[in-house]
Amino acid sequence: MTQNLAETFADLVIGCGRTYSAMDKLYLVNRIYALSGEEHQDFPAGISDKDILQVRDHLLQTAVANGKIEDSLTDKEILGSELMALTVPKPSTVNHIFWEKYKQSPNTATDYFFNLSKASDYIKTKAIAKNIAFQTKTDYGNLEITINLSKPEKDPKAIAAAGRQASTSYPLCQLCMENEGYSGRLGYPARAEHRIVRLPLNHETWGFQYSPYAYFNEHAIFIAPVHRPMHIDAVTINNLLSIVTKFPEYTVGSNADLPIVGGSILSHDHYQGGRHEFPMAKAAVEKTFALAGFPDVSAGIVKWPMSVIRLAGKDQDDLVKAAAHILDSWRHYSDESVDVRAESQGVRHHTVTPIARFRDNQFELDLVLRDNQTSSQYPDGIFHPHQDVQHIKKENIGLIEVMGLAILPARLKTELAEVVKFVLGQDNQMADYHRPWAEKLKADFTGKAQEADDYVLQATGRVFARVLEDAGVFKRNAEGQEAFDRFIKQL
């Protein structure tokens, strides 16, 4: 007998082997009917009865036809999340399985959790596949460039309705533990299928989850157990090193804790990492130095567009103390000759972006010096992308960009296509703010027409290298490097 949508979806849930067995089919079908309605359940031609996301999407249309939900992106997201939640074990079960697999190896545990997060559509793999990604060769190695097309479009109905909706403060932010299993609402994502692994971390129980719109392989987020502001101190460094002890295949770092140089969410303490070797990790130490009082910690300056001190050693406590010493020195350090000021009018300007990894049987810790001053010449930030590169990247330079992976805005997909037309002398609708850059590209272009797309993309990657240079506090020139040496000597 031909099965309908609800019955097929129930079979696919059972086939996952994670939550239900064959005996549960009638129960599952009734739960699906409750969500989508009993009418309009005929299985449509042209879709696979093996593709759970295709079947899920047709159930959403069924729910609209049955009047269960409105034909809006928000309602479909919420119902889609509820349906996929049927494929995911409850949080306590996920945690039990994770830590049982961890006994085999950390990789076995993270593979389980990552694959579960993809299979449930919590990680939006189809959306992520839309991103444009390429590499650009620079003096600092190959930088990685992503034009981010994966974030969902805004729902006009939801925008209008949100203005009429009573405000709520639950969850307080999208990184709070309370998002686990949250149904969602207008302007706030559905998280019914979301699961968080509880992670013991230096006398606290943190959360470990993956990013729904991952920018790199196994893009993980580690979240503090309570809603508290980002902060960088010795505890932060200790936490990062403890995480890479637990997951030695992961790189883990923290955004800076100040506006302009920090990430997009400063209100909730969290770290990011994953199984990915970032361009900065591949960059070599170009100058070593001795760090007084820490004979077992090696230290050096990394060949990178930003100002990076790399520490390495086997003893976690030594590295924490060495990093805390550098952080404290940097927070109080000024050098007016290169516009470096620790504070102004009682406002602190200095912090670091710390990144930890485990390599060659020892800890490696990169400390990226950050300064969030503004000026009349650079109102967006002295050490922020300057105005002449903001046509490509205007947003904060956070942890991921610091490590050499550009997250560029979606607008560039269409805008760069117009730049290509301009370079080729074709009719175009290029944005005016690209013109100074595009005119130089056009004057320098000597390739064939079919090479113009890659030519413009590579030029975009080189602009990102300039963006990182703008964010560097000690510039990559003689004056800047002499100033960097002065800071190192006073350590």
pLDDT of residue 157: 55
| Residues 6 or more apart in contact with residue 455 via CB below 8 angstroms | 423, 441, 445, 447
Task: Report the DSSP beta bridge partners of residue 272.
Answer: 221, 253
| pLDDT band at 168; cut points 50, 70, 90 | confident
pLDDT of residue 167: 63
Q: Poorest-confidence range of 46-50, 121-125, 419-423, 485-489?
A: 46-50
| Residues 6 or more apart in contact with residue 129 via CB below 8 angstroms | none
pLDDT of residue 74: 93
| pLDDT band at 187; cut points 50, 70, 90 | confident
Furthest-apart CA pair in the chain: how many Å?
81
Given a cut of 70, is residue 165 above it in pLDDT? no
Mean of pLDDT values over 269-294: 97
Q: Poorest-confidence range of 30-39, 117-126, 145-154, 217-226?
A: 145-154
pLDDT of residue 262: 83
| pLDDT band at 166; cut points 50, 70, 90 | low
pLDDT of residue 256: 94
pLDDT of residue 372: 96
Mean pLDDT of the chain: 95
Question: What HEC string does 105-159 produce?
Answer: CHHHHHHHHHHHHHHCCCCCHHHHCCCEEEEEEECCEEEEEEECCCCCCCCHHHH
Q: How many CA atoms lie within 13 A of 313 on its CB side?
A: 19
| pLDDT band at 2; cut points 50, 70, 90 | confident
The whole-angstrom distance between residue 369's C-alpha and the CA centroid of its chain comes to 20
Given a cut of 80, is residue 452 above it in pLDDT? yes
Tell me, what DSSP letter sits at residue 387? G
Task: Name the residue with tokens 């567009």.
Answer: 305
Q: Are strands 220-223 and 204-210 parallel, antiparallel or unpaired?
A: antiparallel
How many Cβ atoms are within 10 Å of 34's Cβ, its own excluded?
Answer: 11
pLDDT of residue 134: 97
Task: Name the residue with tokens 């800071």.
Answer: 487
| pLDDT band at 133; cut points 50, 70, 90 | very high
Task: Name the residue with tokens 């067995």.
Answer: 21
pLDDT of residue 160: 56
Tell me, what DSSP letter sits at residue 392? T
Q: What are phi and psi of 19, to 5 degrees?
A: -130, -35
User: DSSP states of 298-361 as a string?
Assistant: EEEEESSSS-EEEEEES-HHHHHHHHHHHHHHHHT--BGGGTB-SEETTEE-EEEEEEEEEETT
CA 426 vs CA 381, 417, 429, 439, 455: distances in Å = 36, 11, 10, 13, 16
By the 8 A CB rule, do 490 and 329 touch? yes
Q: Are strands 141-147 and 132-138 parallel, antiparallel or unpaired?
A: antiparallel
The whole-angstrom distance between residue 432's C-alpha and the CA centroid of its chain comes to 30
Mean of pLDDT values over 409-421: 97
Mean of pLDDT values over 95-105: 98
Share of the chain above pLDDT 90, in %: 93
| pLDDT band at 164; cut points 50, 70, 90 | low
By the 8 A CB rule, do 84 and 120 touch? yes
Question: What HEC string does 416-455 produce?
Answer: HHHHHHHHCCCCCCCCHHHHHHHHHHHHHCCCCHHHHHHH
Given a cut of 80, is residue 188 above it in pLDDT? yes
How many Cβ atoms are within 10 Å of 446's Cβ, its own excluded?
Answer: 7
| pLDDT band at 169; cut points 50, 70, 90 | confident
| pLDDT band at 264; cut points 50, 70, 90 | confident
Residue type, 165: Q
Q: Which residue has the higher pLDDT, 161 or 325?
A: 325
Please tell me the pTM assigned to this model: 0.94
Tell me, what DSSP letter sits at residue 366? E
| Residues 6 or more apart in contact with residue 365 via CB below 8 angstroms | 237, 240, 241, 310, 311, 312, 319, 323, 354, 355, 356
Question: What HEC string does 8-34 produce?
Answer: HHHHHHHHHCCCCCHHHHHHHHHHHHH
pLDDT in tens, 369-385: 999 999 999 999 999 99
Give the Cα separation of 160 and 147 in Å (integer). Answer: 28
Q: Is the peptide bond before 225 cis (omega within 30 degrees of 0)?
A: no
Given a cut of 90, is residue 261 above it in pLDDT? yes
pLDDT in tens, 38-75: 999 999 988 999 999 999 999 999 999 999 999 999 99
| pLDDT band at 448; cut points 50, 70, 90 | very high
| pLDDT band at 154; cut points 50, 70, 90 | low
By the 8 A CB rule, do 385 and 362 touch? no
- Boundaries of every domain in the chain: 5-68, 215-383+478-490
Give the Cα separation of 413 and 150 in Å (integer). Answer: 12
Closest to 269 in 3D by CA, of 225, 213, 210? 225
pLDDT of residue 416: 98
Share of the chain above pLDDT 70, in %: 97
pLDDT of residue 478: 97
pLDDT of residue 218: 98
Mean of pLDDT values over 266-277: 96
pLDDT of residue 152: 64
